[in-house]
Chains A and B, each alone.
Chain A
Amino acid sequence: MAERVIYAMYDDDDVVKDAAKKLVANGIHIRDIFSPFPIHGIDPIIGVKHTRLGIVAFFFGLLGLALALFGMRYFMIVDWPMNIGGKPNFSLLENLPSFIPVTFEFTVLFAGHGMAITYLLRNKTLPGMPADNPYPRTTDDRFVMEIFVSDNEQFSIDDLHEKIKATDIIQLEEKDYKKIK
Protein backbone atom coordinates (compact mmCIF):
# COMPACT_ATOMS: atom_id res chain seq x y z
CA MET A 1 0.00 0.00 0.00
CA ALA A 2 1.31 3.37 -0.97
CA GLU A 3 2.05 5.87 1.73
CA ARG A 4 -0.62 8.51 2.26
CA VAL A 5 0.42 12.12 2.56
CA ILE A 6 -1.54 15.27 3.32
CA TYR A 7 -0.70 18.51 1.56
CA ALA A 8 -1.91 21.70 3.19
CA MET A 9 -1.59 24.87 1.15
CA TYR A 10 -1.18 28.40 2.52
CA ASP A 11 -0.75 31.78 0.87
CA ASP A 12 1.49 33.62 3.31
CA ASP A 13 4.80 32.81 5.00
CA ASP A 14 3.74 34.19 8.38
CA VAL A 15 0.50 32.21 8.23
CA VAL A 16 2.34 28.99 7.45
CA LYS A 17 4.72 29.69 10.31
CA ASP A 18 1.90 30.23 12.79
CA ALA A 19 0.10 27.16 11.47
CA ALA A 20 3.23 25.05 11.83
CA LYS A 21 3.70 26.27 15.39
CA LYS A 22 0.11 25.37 16.24
CA LEU A 23 0.22 21.94 14.59
CA VAL A 24 3.55 21.03 16.19
CA ALA A 25 2.16 22.12 19.55
CA ASN A 26 -0.71 19.71 18.91
CA GLY A 27 1.79 16.91 18.43
CA ILE A 28 1.64 16.69 14.66
CA HIS A 29 4.88 15.93 12.87
CA ILE A 30 5.46 18.00 9.73
CA ARG A 31 7.88 16.33 7.34
CA ASP A 32 8.61 19.33 5.14
CA ILE A 33 7.42 22.74 3.98
CA PHE A 34 7.72 23.88 0.37
CA SER A 35 8.19 27.59 -0.09
CA PRO A 36 9.32 29.95 -2.85
CA PHE A 37 11.86 31.50 -0.48
CA PRO A 38 13.51 30.61 2.83
CA ILE A 39 11.11 31.31 5.70
CA HIS A 40 13.11 32.77 8.59
CA GLY A 41 12.80 30.76 11.76
CA ILE A 42 10.80 27.84 10.36
CA ASP A 43 13.57 25.25 10.83
CA PRO A 44 13.44 24.96 14.62
CA ILE A 45 9.62 24.91 14.54
CA ILE A 46 9.33 21.82 12.37
CA GLY A 47 12.45 20.30 13.88
CA VAL A 48 14.88 20.51 10.99
CA LYS A 49 18.39 19.85 12.27
CA HIS A 50 20.99 22.58 11.89
CA THR A 51 22.95 22.25 8.65
CA ARG A 52 26.32 20.49 8.63
CA LEU A 53 27.37 22.35 5.49
CA GLY A 54 29.88 24.41 7.50
CA ILE A 55 31.82 21.27 8.43
CA VAL A 56 31.92 20.26 4.76
CA ALA A 57 33.20 23.73 3.85
CA PHE A 58 35.93 23.46 6.48
CA PHE A 59 37.22 20.16 5.11
CA PHE A 60 37.04 21.36 1.51
CA GLY A 61 39.04 24.37 2.64
CA LEU A 62 41.66 22.11 4.23
CA LEU A 63 41.81 20.09 1.01
CA GLY A 64 42.38 23.27 -1.02
CA LEU A 65 45.06 24.42 1.41
CA ALA A 66 46.91 21.10 1.21
CA LEU A 67 46.61 20.89 -2.57
CA ALA A 68 47.93 24.43 -3.04
CA LEU A 69 50.93 23.77 -0.79
CA PHE A 70 51.74 20.42 -2.42
CA GLY A 71 51.26 21.95 -5.86
CA MET A 72 53.48 24.94 -5.14
CA ARG A 73 56.12 22.68 -3.66
CA TYR A 74 56.13 20.52 -6.77
CA PHE A 75 55.98 23.34 -9.34
CA MET A 76 58.29 25.86 -7.75
CA ILE A 77 60.67 23.84 -5.56
CA VAL A 78 61.01 20.25 -6.78
CA ASP A 79 60.26 20.07 -10.48
CA TRP A 80 61.69 23.39 -11.66
CA PRO A 81 63.15 25.57 -8.91
CA MET A 82 62.45 29.16 -9.81
CA ASN A 83 64.58 32.02 -8.61
CA ILE A 84 62.34 35.06 -8.36
CA GLY A 85 63.91 38.17 -6.89
CA GLY A 86 66.62 36.18 -5.12
CA LYS A 87 64.15 34.41 -2.85
CA PRO A 88 65.27 31.07 -1.39
CA ASN A 89 64.21 28.64 -4.07
CA PHE A 90 65.05 25.24 -2.59
CA SER A 91 62.84 25.39 0.47
CA LEU A 92 59.08 25.56 0.75
CA LEU A 93 59.15 26.80 4.33
CA GLU A 94 61.55 29.69 3.77
CA ASN A 95 59.67 30.72 0.66
CA LEU A 96 56.26 30.30 2.23
CA PRO A 97 55.19 33.99 2.27
CA SER A 98 55.16 34.10 -1.53
CA PHE A 99 52.87 31.05 -1.67
CA ILE A 100 50.39 32.30 0.91
CA PRO A 101 48.20 34.29 -1.54
CA VAL A 102 47.83 31.24 -3.82
CA THR A 103 47.14 29.02 -0.84
CA PHE A 104 44.55 31.44 0.48
CA GLU A 105 42.78 31.66 -2.88
CA PHE A 106 42.80 27.89 -3.27
CA THR A 107 41.35 27.43 0.20
CA VAL A 108 38.53 29.87 -0.55
CA LEU A 109 37.93 28.38 -4.01
CA PHE A 110 37.68 24.84 -2.67
CA ALA A 111 35.57 25.78 0.33
CA GLY A 112 33.15 27.80 -1.80
CA HIS A 113 32.79 25.41 -4.69
CA GLY A 114 32.87 22.31 -2.52
CA MET A 115 30.11 23.73 -0.35
CA ALA A 116 27.95 24.71 -3.33
CA ILE A 117 28.33 21.39 -5.10
CA THR A 118 27.70 19.43 -1.90
CA TYR A 119 24.58 21.49 -1.31
CA LEU A 120 23.24 20.85 -4.81
CA LEU A 121 24.04 17.13 -4.63
CA ARG A 122 22.52 16.68 -1.19
CA ASN A 123 19.35 18.52 -2.20
CA LYS A 124 19.26 16.74 -5.55
CA THR A 125 18.93 20.08 -7.27
CA LEU A 126 21.78 19.92 -9.74
CA PRO A 127 20.85 21.57 -13.04
CA GLY A 128 18.63 19.24 -15.09
CA MET A 129 17.37 17.20 -12.14
CA PRO A 130 13.58 16.78 -12.02
CA ALA A 131 11.73 19.00 -9.59
CA ASP A 132 10.11 17.22 -6.67
CA ASN A 133 7.87 19.89 -5.25
CA PRO A 134 4.31 18.55 -5.30
CA TYR A 135 2.74 21.81 -6.40
CA PRO A 136 4.43 24.02 -9.01
CA ARG A 137 2.91 27.08 -7.36
CA THR A 138 5.26 26.66 -4.38
CA THR A 139 7.86 28.27 -6.63
CA ASP A 140 5.65 31.31 -6.98
CA ASP A 141 3.27 32.42 -4.22
CA ARG A 142 2.09 29.32 -2.35
CA PHE A 143 3.37 27.52 0.73
CA VAL A 144 2.70 23.81 1.12
CA MET A 145 3.08 21.64 4.19
CA GLU A 146 3.83 17.98 3.71
CA ILE A 147 2.43 15.81 6.49
CA PHE A 148 2.82 12.04 6.35
CA VAL A 149 0.00 10.01 7.76
CA SER A 150 2.48 7.36 8.88
CA ASP A 151 4.31 9.98 10.99
CA ASN A 152 1.14 10.81 12.89
CA GLU A 153 -0.45 7.45 13.60
CA GLN A 154 -1.60 8.53 17.04
CA PHE A 155 -4.33 10.55 15.30
CA SER A 156 -7.13 9.18 13.12
CA ILE A 157 -7.21 10.47 9.55
CA ASP A 158 -10.32 12.54 10.21
CA ASP A 159 -8.84 13.98 13.36
CA LEU A 160 -5.71 14.95 11.44
CA HIS A 161 -7.72 16.61 8.70
CA GLU A 162 -9.75 18.51 11.23
CA LYS A 163 -6.70 19.78 13.08
CA ILE A 164 -5.06 20.96 9.87
CA LYS A 165 -8.27 22.57 8.63
CA ALA A 166 -8.42 24.56 11.86
CA THR A 167 -5.45 26.60 10.58
CA ASP A 168 -5.77 29.24 7.86
CA ILE A 169 -5.38 26.92 4.89
CA ILE A 170 -6.54 27.52 1.36
CA GLN A 171 -6.54 23.95 0.17
CA LEU A 172 -6.07 20.50 1.67
CA GLU A 173 -5.37 17.38 -0.29
CA GLU A 174 -4.57 13.82 0.69
CA LYS A 175 -3.00 11.53 -1.82
CA ASP A 176 -0.55 8.69 -2.37
CA TYR A 177 3.02 9.73 -1.87
CA LYS A 178 4.82 9.75 -5.20
CA LYS A 179 8.59 9.61 -4.94
CA ILE A 180 10.09 11.55 -7.81
CA LYS A 181 13.76 10.93 -7.08
Chain B
Amino acid sequence: MEFQISAKAKKVIFGLVGVGLALFFIGIFLDDSDQSKTRIFSNLLINGLFFLFISLGALFFLALQYATETGWSVAIKRVVEGVASYVLLGGAIVVAIFLVLTFTDGGYTEIHGHHLGHIYQYFDSEIVNHDKIIANKAPFLTKGFFWGATVVYMAIYYMFYLGFRKRSLREDIEGGTKIHFKNFAKAAFFLVLFGYTSSTLTWHWLMSIDPHWFSTLYGWYVFSGMWLTAMVSIMLLVLYLKSLGHLQVVNNSHIHDIGKWIFALSFLWSYLFFSQFMLYWYANIGEEVIYYRFRFDNYKYIFWGMFAINFIIPMLILMSREAKRNIGILVTVCFIIILGHWADMFMLVTPGSMGEYGHIGLVEIGLFLFFAGVFAYWVLNTLTKAPLVPKNHPYLDESKHHDI
Protein backbone atom coordinates (compact mmCIF):
# COMPACT_ATOMS: atom_id res chain seq x y z
CA MET B 1 0.00 0.00 0.00
CA GLU B 2 1.20 3.55 0.63
CA PHE B 3 3.85 2.77 3.25
CA GLN B 4 6.82 0.57 2.41
CA ILE B 5 9.70 -0.34 4.68
CA SER B 6 12.57 1.68 3.27
CA ALA B 7 15.86 0.06 2.35
CA LYS B 8 17.54 2.08 5.07
CA ALA B 9 15.07 0.89 7.72
CA LYS B 10 15.58 -2.71 6.57
CA LYS B 11 19.34 -2.28 6.84
CA VAL B 12 19.02 -0.89 10.38
CA ILE B 13 16.63 -3.66 11.45
CA PHE B 14 18.68 -6.49 9.97
CA GLY B 15 21.75 -4.83 11.51
CA LEU B 16 20.05 -4.87 14.91
CA VAL B 17 19.05 -8.49 14.53
CA GLY B 18 22.52 -9.51 13.31
CA VAL B 19 24.49 -7.57 15.89
CA GLY B 20 22.08 -8.74 18.59
CA LEU B 21 22.50 -12.39 17.67
CA ALA B 22 26.27 -12.02 17.43
CA LEU B 23 26.51 -10.35 20.85
CA PHE B 24 24.20 -13.01 22.27
CA PHE B 25 26.31 -15.89 21.03
CA ILE B 26 29.58 -14.22 22.04
CA GLY B 27 28.02 -13.64 25.44
CA ILE B 28 27.05 -17.31 25.77
CA PHE B 29 30.47 -18.40 24.58
CA LEU B 30 32.23 -16.20 27.15
CA ASP B 31 29.90 -17.19 29.99
CA ASP B 32 31.14 -20.51 31.35
CA SER B 33 29.57 -20.05 34.79
CA ASP B 34 27.00 -22.45 36.26
CA GLN B 35 24.30 -19.87 35.68
CA SER B 36 24.61 -19.62 31.89
CA LYS B 37 21.60 -21.87 31.19
CA THR B 38 19.36 -19.96 33.60
CA ARG B 39 20.67 -16.72 32.16
CA ILE B 40 19.63 -17.65 28.64
CA PHE B 41 16.15 -18.71 29.76
CA SER B 42 15.76 -15.58 31.90
CA ASN B 43 16.67 -13.33 29.02
CA LEU B 44 14.42 -15.11 26.57
CA LEU B 45 11.59 -14.65 29.04
CA ILE B 46 12.45 -11.00 29.78
CA ASN B 47 12.52 -9.99 26.13
CA GLY B 48 9.71 -12.28 25.06
CA LEU B 49 7.40 -10.84 27.67
CA PHE B 50 8.65 -7.25 27.37
CA PHE B 51 7.73 -7.02 23.69
CA LEU B 52 4.59 -9.13 24.06
CA PHE B 53 3.48 -6.73 26.79
CA ILE B 54 4.03 -3.75 24.49
CA SER B 55 1.63 -5.31 21.99
CA LEU B 56 -0.85 -6.23 24.73
CA GLY B 57 -0.76 -2.62 25.95
CA ALA B 58 -1.51 -1.47 22.41
CA LEU B 59 -4.33 -3.99 22.08
CA PHE B 60 -5.78 -2.70 25.33
CA PHE B 61 -5.44 0.90 24.17
CA LEU B 62 -7.15 0.05 20.89
CA ALA B 63 -10.07 -1.53 22.75
CA LEU B 64 -10.18 1.44 25.11
CA GLN B 65 -10.53 3.83 22.16
CA TYR B 66 -13.37 1.74 20.72
CA ALA B 67 -15.17 1.31 24.02
CA THR B 68 -14.97 5.01 24.86
CA GLU B 69 -15.74 5.98 21.22
CA THR B 70 -12.75 8.29 21.24
CA GLY B 71 -12.47 10.62 18.29
CA TRP B 72 -8.97 12.05 18.34
CA SER B 73 -7.10 8.76 18.11
CA VAL B 74 -8.67 7.62 14.83
CA ALA B 75 -5.80 9.13 12.86
CA ILE B 76 -3.27 6.96 14.69
CA LYS B 77 -5.49 3.86 14.86
CA ARG B 78 -3.50 1.91 12.27
CA VAL B 79 -0.30 2.55 14.20
CA VAL B 80 -1.93 1.19 17.37
CA GLU B 81 -3.10 -1.83 15.39
CA GLY B 82 0.41 -2.24 14.02
CA VAL B 83 1.95 -2.36 17.49
CA ALA B 84 -0.82 -4.68 18.69
CA SER B 85 -0.20 -7.03 15.75
CA TYR B 86 3.01 -8.24 17.39
CA VAL B 87 0.76 -10.15 19.80
CA LEU B 88 0.61 -12.87 17.12
CA LEU B 89 4.37 -13.40 16.95
CA GLY B 90 5.14 -12.43 20.55
CA GLY B 91 2.50 -14.81 21.86
CA ALA B 92 3.97 -17.66 19.81
CA ILE B 93 7.51 -16.89 21.03
CA VAL B 94 6.42 -16.77 24.66
CA VAL B 95 4.47 -20.03 24.30
CA ALA B 96 7.55 -21.64 22.75
CA ILE B 97 9.67 -20.49 25.72
CA PHE B 98 7.04 -21.86 28.10
CA LEU B 99 7.04 -25.19 26.25
CA VAL B 100 10.81 -25.50 26.60
CA LEU B 101 10.59 -24.58 30.28
CA THR B 102 7.84 -27.15 30.80
CA PHE B 103 9.78 -29.98 29.23
CA THR B 104 12.96 -29.05 31.11
CA ASP B 105 11.01 -28.88 34.40
CA GLY B 106 11.58 -25.14 34.89
CA GLY B 107 14.95 -24.97 33.19
CA TYR B 108 17.11 -25.95 36.16
CA THR B 109 20.82 -26.72 36.20
CA GLU B 110 22.04 -29.71 38.19
CA ILE B 111 24.96 -28.77 40.44
CA HIS B 112 26.36 -31.36 42.84
CA GLY B 113 23.08 -33.26 42.64
CA HIS B 114 20.98 -30.19 43.48
CA HIS B 115 18.44 -28.68 41.16
CA LEU B 116 19.25 -24.96 41.02
CA GLY B 117 18.52 -21.92 38.88
CA HIS B 118 14.91 -22.61 37.90
CA ILE B 119 12.80 -20.08 36.11
CA TYR B 120 9.62 -21.67 37.49
CA GLN B 121 10.57 -23.70 40.54
CA TYR B 122 7.14 -25.31 40.78
CA PHE B 123 7.62 -27.02 37.39
CA ASP B 124 10.14 -29.30 39.12
CA SER B 125 8.60 -32.02 41.30
CA GLU B 126 11.97 -32.41 43.03
CA ILE B 127 11.55 -28.88 44.47
CA VAL B 128 7.84 -29.12 45.17
CA ASN B 129 8.29 -32.34 47.18
CA HIS B 130 10.68 -30.58 49.54
CA ASP B 131 8.96 -27.22 49.64
CA LYS B 132 5.83 -27.14 51.72
CA ILE B 133 4.95 -23.57 50.78
CA ILE B 134 4.90 -24.30 47.05
CA ALA B 135 3.17 -27.64 47.62
CA ASN B 136 0.45 -25.87 49.57
CA LYS B 137 -0.13 -23.49 46.69
CA ALA B 138 -1.26 -26.33 44.44
CA PRO B 139 -3.33 -26.49 42.32
CA PHE B 140 -2.49 -22.87 41.42
CA LEU B 141 1.25 -23.42 41.13
CA THR B 142 1.17 -26.46 38.86
CA LYS B 143 2.00 -27.05 35.22
CA GLY B 144 -1.60 -27.92 34.43
CA PHE B 145 -3.05 -24.70 35.81
CA PHE B 146 -0.26 -22.68 34.20
CA TRP B 147 -0.99 -24.11 30.77
CA GLY B 148 -4.75 -23.97 31.09
CA ALA B 149 -4.53 -20.29 31.94
CA THR B 150 -1.91 -19.54 29.28
CA VAL B 151 -4.01 -21.15 26.56
CA VAL B 152 -7.04 -19.13 27.64
CA TYR B 153 -5.07 -15.86 27.67
CA MET B 154 -3.54 -16.47 24.26
CA ALA B 155 -6.88 -17.50 22.78
CA ILE B 156 -8.51 -14.30 24.05
CA TYR B 157 -5.76 -12.01 22.79
CA TYR B 158 -5.43 -13.71 19.39
CA MET B 159 -9.17 -13.79 18.85
CA PHE B 160 -9.79 -10.17 19.78
CA TYR B 161 -6.77 -8.85 17.90
CA LEU B 162 -7.77 -10.70 14.73
CA GLY B 163 -11.37 -9.56 15.14
CA PHE B 164 -10.49 -5.91 15.63
CA ARG B 165 -8.12 -5.99 12.70
CA LYS B 166 -10.57 -7.72 10.40
CA ARG B 167 -13.37 -5.27 11.19
CA SER B 168 -11.02 -2.32 10.90
CA LEU B 169 -10.03 -3.35 7.37
CA ARG B 170 -13.64 -4.11 6.42
CA GLU B 171 -14.72 -0.69 7.65
CA ASP B 172 -12.38 0.86 5.08
CA ILE B 173 -14.42 -0.78 2.34
CA GLU B 174 -17.95 -0.78 3.74
CA GLY B 175 -18.22 2.36 5.83
CA GLY B 176 -21.34 3.06 7.85
CA THR B 177 -21.71 2.72 11.60
CA LYS B 178 -22.54 -0.98 11.91
CA ILE B 179 -18.90 -2.04 12.32
CA HIS B 180 -18.28 0.86 14.64
CA PHE B 181 -20.95 -0.26 17.09
CA LYS B 182 -19.86 -3.86 16.82
CA ASN B 183 -16.33 -2.76 17.73
CA PHE B 184 -17.78 -0.78 20.61
CA ALA B 185 -19.53 -3.85 22.07
CA LYS B 186 -16.61 -6.19 21.45
CA ALA B 187 -14.13 -3.73 22.95
CA ALA B 188 -16.21 -3.29 26.09
CA PHE B 189 -16.29 -7.07 26.49
CA PHE B 190 -12.56 -7.29 25.82
CA LEU B 191 -11.81 -4.68 28.48
CA VAL B 192 -13.61 -6.80 31.06
CA LEU B 193 -11.65 -9.89 30.02
CA PHE B 194 -8.40 -7.95 29.85
CA GLY B 195 -8.99 -6.45 33.27
CA TYR B 196 -8.94 -9.94 34.78
CA THR B 197 -6.43 -11.64 32.52
CA SER B 198 -3.84 -8.84 32.50
CA SER B 199 -3.68 -9.20 36.26
CA THR B 200 -3.71 -12.98 36.47
CA LEU B 201 -1.27 -13.52 33.61
CA THR B 202 1.37 -11.66 35.60
CA TRP B 203 0.79 -14.06 38.50
CA HIS B 204 1.37 -17.06 36.26
CA TRP B 205 4.14 -15.76 34.07
CA LEU B 206 6.09 -13.42 36.37
CA MET B 207 5.10 -13.47 40.03
CA SER B 208 5.46 -17.26 40.23
CA ILE B 209 9.19 -16.87 39.53
CA ASP B 210 9.32 -15.96 43.24
CA PRO B 211 6.88 -18.67 44.29
CA HIS B 212 7.02 -17.96 48.03
CA TRP B 213 6.16 -14.33 47.65
CA PHE B 214 2.99 -12.66 46.46
CA SER B 215 1.62 -9.18 46.00
CA THR B 216 -1.88 -8.06 45.18
CA LEU B 217 -0.72 -4.88 43.45
CA TYR B 218 1.61 -6.81 41.14
CA GLY B 219 -0.86 -7.17 38.27
CA TRP B 220 -1.63 -3.48 38.08
CA TYR B 221 2.00 -2.62 38.43
CA VAL B 222 2.99 -4.77 35.46
CA PHE B 223 -0.07 -3.61 33.51
CA SER B 224 0.82 0.07 33.95
CA GLY B 225 4.26 -0.72 32.52
CA MET B 226 2.63 -2.53 29.56
CA TRP B 227 0.40 0.37 28.74
CA LEU B 228 3.19 2.91 29.08
CA THR B 229 5.63 1.04 26.85
CA ALA B 230 2.82 0.60 24.31
CA MET B 231 2.20 4.37 24.24
CA VAL B 232 5.94 5.00 23.91
CA SER B 233 6.14 2.60 20.95
CA ILE B 234 3.12 4.24 19.33
CA MET B 235 4.71 7.66 19.81
CA LEU B 236 8.02 6.56 18.26
CA LEU B 237 6.23 4.98 15.31
CA VAL B 238 4.02 8.02 14.71
CA LEU B 239 7.06 10.31 14.79
CA TYR B 240 8.97 7.98 12.47
CA LEU B 241 6.12 7.77 9.96
CA LYS B 242 5.63 11.53 10.09
CA SER B 243 9.32 12.13 9.48
CA LEU B 244 8.93 10.08 6.28
CA GLY B 245 6.02 12.27 5.20
CA HIS B 246 3.24 9.79 5.99
CA LEU B 247 0.33 10.41 8.39
CA GLN B 248 -0.29 13.94 7.15
CA VAL B 249 -3.52 14.13 9.16
CA VAL B 250 -1.63 13.67 12.42
CA ASN B 251 -0.90 17.11 13.78
CA ASN B 252 0.83 18.52 16.84
CA SER B 253 -2.27 18.03 18.95
CA HIS B 254 -2.31 14.27 18.38
CA ILE B 255 1.35 14.08 19.33
CA HIS B 256 0.70 16.25 22.36
CA ASP B 257 -2.07 13.84 23.41
CA ILE B 258 0.13 10.74 23.10
CA GLY B 259 2.74 12.67 25.08
CA LYS B 260 0.17 13.29 27.79
CA TRP B 261 -0.52 9.56 27.96
CA ILE B 262 3.20 8.87 28.35
CA PHE B 263 3.47 11.49 31.09
CA ALA B 264 0.38 10.28 32.95
CA LEU B 265 1.22 6.58 32.65
CA SER B 266 4.74 7.18 33.94
CA PHE B 267 3.07 8.56 37.04
CA LEU B 268 0.67 5.61 37.22
CA TRP B 269 3.60 3.21 37.04
CA SER B 270 5.61 5.11 39.66
CA TYR B 271 2.57 5.36 41.89
CA LEU B 272 1.99 1.61 41.76
CA PHE B 273 5.70 0.86 42.21
CA PHE B 274 5.77 3.00 45.30
CA SER B 275 2.43 1.76 46.66
CA GLN B 276 3.59 -1.83 46.45
CA PHE B 277 6.93 -0.99 48.01
CA MET B 278 5.55 1.19 50.79
CA LEU B 279 2.97 -1.34 51.98
CA TYR B 280 5.65 -3.99 52.39
CA TRP B 281 8.12 -1.55 53.89
CA TYR B 282 5.57 -0.35 56.41
CA ALA B 283 4.26 -3.78 57.46
CA ASN B 284 7.82 -5.12 57.62
CA ILE B 285 6.79 -8.78 57.66
CA GLY B 286 9.78 -11.06 57.12
CA GLU B 287 8.47 -13.27 54.31
CA GLU B 288 7.21 -10.23 52.41
CA VAL B 289 10.09 -7.76 52.73
CA ILE B 290 12.61 -10.42 51.72
CA TYR B 291 11.60 -9.69 48.12
CA TYR B 292 12.72 -6.07 48.40
CA ARG B 293 15.57 -6.78 50.80
CA PHE B 294 17.10 -9.13 48.24
CA ARG B 295 16.87 -6.54 45.49
CA PHE B 296 18.34 -3.79 47.67
CA ASP B 297 21.27 -5.98 48.64
CA ASN B 298 22.07 -7.42 45.23
CA TYR B 299 20.62 -5.10 42.60
CA LYS B 300 20.85 -1.73 44.29
CA TYR B 301 21.83 0.31 41.25
CA ILE B 302 19.57 -1.32 38.67
CA PHE B 303 16.59 -1.34 41.04
CA TRP B 304 16.77 2.28 42.21
CA GLY B 305 18.25 3.45 38.94
CA MET B 306 15.32 2.17 36.92
CA PHE B 307 12.84 3.68 39.37
CA ALA B 308 14.60 7.05 39.18
CA ILE B 309 14.75 6.92 35.38
CA ASN B 310 11.15 5.83 34.93
CA PHE B 311 9.76 8.34 37.40
CA ILE B 312 11.92 11.45 37.42
CA ILE B 313 12.85 11.77 33.75
CA PRO B 314 9.31 11.68 32.31
CA MET B 315 8.04 13.84 35.18
CA LEU B 316 10.53 16.65 34.87
CA ILE B 317 11.07 16.61 31.12
CA LEU B 318 7.54 15.98 29.87
CA MET B 319 5.80 18.32 32.30
CA SER B 320 5.60 21.38 30.09
CA ARG B 321 3.35 21.75 27.07
CA GLU B 322 6.23 22.69 24.78
CA ALA B 323 8.17 19.51 25.64
CA LYS B 324 5.22 17.34 24.61
CA ARG B 325 5.27 19.04 21.21
CA ASN B 326 9.03 18.93 20.69
CA ILE B 327 10.06 15.95 18.58
CA GLY B 328 13.68 15.85 19.74
CA ILE B 329 12.73 15.79 23.41
CA LEU B 330 9.99 13.22 22.82
CA VAL B 331 12.24 10.80 20.96
CA THR B 332 14.94 11.05 23.64
CA VAL B 333 12.50 10.51 26.50
CA CYS B 334 10.79 7.64 24.65
CA PHE B 335 14.06 5.75 24.20
CA ILE B 336 15.01 6.35 27.84
CA ILE B 337 11.63 5.02 28.99
CA ILE B 338 11.98 1.93 26.79
CA LEU B 339 15.35 1.18 28.38
CA GLY B 340 14.04 1.99 31.85
CA HIS B 341 11.11 -0.35 31.46
CA TRP B 342 13.25 -3.07 30.00
CA ALA B 343 15.27 -2.75 33.22
CA ASP B 344 12.00 -3.01 35.14
CA MET B 345 11.24 -6.30 33.37
CA PHE B 346 14.81 -7.39 34.11
CA MET B 347 14.14 -6.73 37.79
CA LEU B 348 10.89 -8.72 37.66
CA VAL B 349 12.56 -11.84 36.30
CA THR B 350 16.27 -12.00 37.05
CA PRO B 351 16.51 -11.75 40.86
CA GLY B 352 13.92 -14.52 41.17
CA SER B 353 15.56 -16.87 38.69
CA MET B 354 19.29 -16.11 38.95
CA GLY B 355 19.51 -14.99 42.56
CA GLU B 356 22.48 -12.77 43.23
CA TYR B 357 24.26 -13.71 39.98
CA GLY B 358 22.22 -11.62 37.58
CA HIS B 359 23.93 -8.78 35.74
CA ILE B 360 23.59 -6.92 32.46
CA GLY B 361 26.15 -8.11 29.95
CA LEU B 362 26.48 -9.12 26.31
CA VAL B 363 23.74 -11.76 26.50
CA GLU B 364 21.23 -9.26 27.85
CA ILE B 365 22.11 -6.49 25.39
CA GLY B 366 22.34 -8.86 22.45
CA LEU B 367 19.00 -10.51 23.00
CA PHE B 368 17.30 -7.15 23.58
CA LEU B 369 18.64 -5.83 20.26
CA PHE B 370 17.57 -9.03 18.51
CA PHE B 371 14.03 -8.86 19.85
CA ALA B 372 13.82 -5.11 19.20
CA GLY B 373 14.74 -5.74 15.56
CA VAL B 374 12.20 -8.54 15.17
CA PHE B 375 9.52 -6.44 16.86
CA ALA B 376 10.24 -3.41 14.67
CA TYR B 377 10.18 -5.49 11.49
CA TRP B 378 6.92 -7.22 12.38
CA VAL B 379 5.18 -3.96 13.28
CA LEU B 380 6.40 -2.07 10.20
CA ASN B 381 5.45 -5.02 8.04
CA THR B 382 1.90 -4.89 9.40
CA LEU B 383 1.78 -1.17 8.64
CA THR B 384 2.57 -1.81 4.98
CA LYS B 385 -0.50 -4.02 4.65
CA ALA B 386 -3.19 -1.39 5.08
CA PRO B 387 -3.64 2.35 4.46
CA LEU B 388 -2.03 4.26 7.32
CA VAL B 389 -5.16 6.27 7.99
CA PRO B 390 -8.54 4.51 8.20
CA LYS B 391 -10.93 5.56 5.45
CA ASN B 392 -14.44 5.24 6.83
CA HIS B 393 -14.29 5.50 10.59
CA PRO B 394 -17.24 7.62 11.78
CA TYR B 395 -14.93 9.87 13.81
CA LEU B 396 -12.29 10.29 11.15
CA ASP B 397 -13.32 13.84 10.42
CA GLU B 398 -13.22 14.76 14.08
CA SER B 399 -9.74 13.32 14.37
CA LYS B 400 -8.54 15.26 11.32
CA HIS B 401 -9.63 18.49 13.00
CA HIS B 402 -8.23 17.59 16.39
CA ASP B 403 -6.99 20.75 18.03
CA ILE B 404 -6.04 21.32 21.65
Contact = CB atoms under 8 A, between A and B. Distances in A.
A97 B403 contact: no
B282 A98 contact: yes
A179 interface: no
A58 B320 CA distance: 10
B277 interface: yes
Nearest to A50: B321
A98 to B, nearest CB: 6
A41 interface: yes
B252 to A, nearest CB: 12
Interface string B284-315: 10000000000000000000000000000000
B274 interface: yes
Nearest to A55: B320
A97 B321 contact: no
Contacts of B321: 50, 54
Contact of A98 (B278, B320, B403): B278
A58 B319 contact: yes
A128 interface: no
A27 interface: no
Interface string B83-98: 0000000000000000
Contacts of A85: 282-284
Contacts of A58: 319
B281 interface: yes
Interface in A70-122: 85-87, 97-98, 100-101
Contacts of B403: 40-41
B274 A86 contact: no
Contacts of A97: 274, 277-278, 281-282
Interface in B167-211: none
Contacts of A100: 274, 278
B374 to A, nearest CB: 40
B84 to A, nearest CB: 31
Interface in B246-295: 274, 277-278, 281-284
Nearest to B401: A41
A86 B285 CA distance: 12
B353 to A, nearest CB: 27
Nearest to B322: A50
9 contacts: A54-B320, A54-B321, A85-B282, A87-B282, A97-B277, A97-B278, A100-B274, A100-B278, A101-B278
